Amino acid sequence: MGLEFIYTQPVKIFFGAGKFEDLGAILKELGLRRCVAVCDPFLRPVISDMAERSSAIVAVYSDIRPNPQLSGAAAVAALIREREADGVIGVGGGSTLDTAKFAAAIACKGGEALDYFRGSLVFPLDHVPVVTVPTTAGTGSEVTQVSVMSCGSEKKTINHPAFMPKAAIVDPLLTRSVPPRTTMNTGLDALAHALEGWWSRNHQPISDLMAVEAVRLVLENLEAAWRDGSDLEARTNMSLAALLGGLAFALPKTAGSHACSYPLSEDYGLPHGEACAFTLDSFVRINADARLETLCKRAGLSGTEELAERIAALKQLGGLRTRLAELGEVDLDKLAHDSAVHPLMKNNPVPMDEAALRRMFERLA
């Protein structure tokens, strides 16, 4: 059969250092006049200051923590209804953006957040428009129809058109304060998105182009951004890499290393990027035949072995955990089982059952 695909990308993207200062004008352009701002706690003073200057921000919610809980999204949805908001602005890392997206999706129809999370209530297509402003360079959540929420220790990726933002303001200046370890974690998350979008069973040509460029940008800029957070050129290139990484996986979806990241985060507390990176170089070797030589050539690498070694070197440089022995007492059977049954594992180009994953994790003992 000939080549066939459907490509869609409805988010209007404003990119550039200082773009966040244009927020008021951008909200006006989008026709949003009463917005709830959801922000990472460290940004509360900046957003409060902006709210004083812009009448379009009517309330600020900042009680967000990593691996965001459903209760936060429910509180934001209540605030949206109470203030009769016509828009939501999410300013922060993926945890903040995902909370904003989930809240905006459920605010119109109402109902319990938990019922949406469990699937007993269906997200309405009609949702409050969201403007995303990422302050980390990693998740790509600014352009995806994904929200990752947790209920207790259960963490779930939900993919639904209701989560698609209306616009994204990507301002690299906002990422300069990200500490080195988070810079490395999130940067490797962006790399994982690009690689997994490339080798996903659902990959397609336009997403592939984004993937190659994101891989090249991460490998050329992550170390510099990690060494010197104020390096605006490296930060700009990493913000672009994260954006392209988001676009690279938005339609194909992620695969093996993301599937394994869920038990690694839920049971051993690894931050999302570190959890994805934990198995990323293993999957580069496992998935080497998934056109990876082509990607490496286009991204300026000698081959898959160099790619795997560069990932391992970045992890070591950033002080990320790379062996199971560093995670405390590990239940290998459960880790292999939970990774194997995660829905994203179905997207991996090489079928990985529980036994194959056990062997992979044994090599990471």
Residues 266-285 that bind ligand NAD (CB under 6 A): 272-273
The Cα 271–Cα 332 span in angstroms is: 19
Q: Which two tokens stand for residue 102?
A: 């989930």
Of 194, 212, 188, which is closest to residue 313 (Cα–Cα)?
188
Rule CB under 6 A: is residue 147 a binding residue for ligand NAD? yes
In 153-289, where does DSSP find H-type helix? 180-199, 205-227, 232-250, 256-268, 272-286
Rule CB under 6 A: is residue 148 a binding residue for ligand NAD? yes
Rule CB under 6 A: is residue 235 a binding residue for ligand NAD? no
Rule CB under 6 A: is residue 186 a binding residue for ligand NAD? yes
Among 62, 99, 132, 141, binds ligand NAD (CB under 6 A): 141
The Cα 302–Cα 50 span in angstroms is: 48
Number of residues that bind ligand NAD (CB under 6 A): 29
Among 72, 93, 197, 263, binds ligand NAD (CB under 6 A): 93
Minimum CB–partner distance for residue 82 and ligand NAD (Å): 25
Tell me the one-letter amino acid at 203.
Answer: H
Rule CB under 6 A: is residue 318 a binding residue for ligand NAD? no
Is residue 58 within 8 A of residue 36, CB to CB? The reply is yes
Minimum CB–partner distance for residue 254 and ligand NAD (Å): 8
Among 92, 129, 263, 349, binds ligand NAD (CB under 6 A): 92
90: β partners: 38, 132
DSSP 321: -
Which are the contacts of 118, defined by CB distance < 8 A and separation ≥ 6? none
59: β partners: 36
Is residue 358 within 8 A of residue 333, CB to CB? The reply is yes
Rule CB under 6 A: is residue 252 a binding residue for ligand NAD? no
Residues 325-344 that bind ligand NAD (CB under 6 A): none
Among 69, 99, 144, 239, binds ligand NAD (CB under 6 A): 144
Rule CB under 6 A: is residue 140 a binding residue for ligand NAD? yes
Q: Which stretch binds ligand NAD (CB under 6 A): 1-9, 106-114, 175-183, 219-227?
A: 175-183
Of 201, 171, 144, which is closest to residue 10 (Cα–Cα)?
144
Residues binding ligand NAD (CB under 6 A): 40, 42, 66-67, 92-96, 98, 135-136, 138-141, 144, 146-148, 174-175, 177-178, 182, 186, 189, 272-273
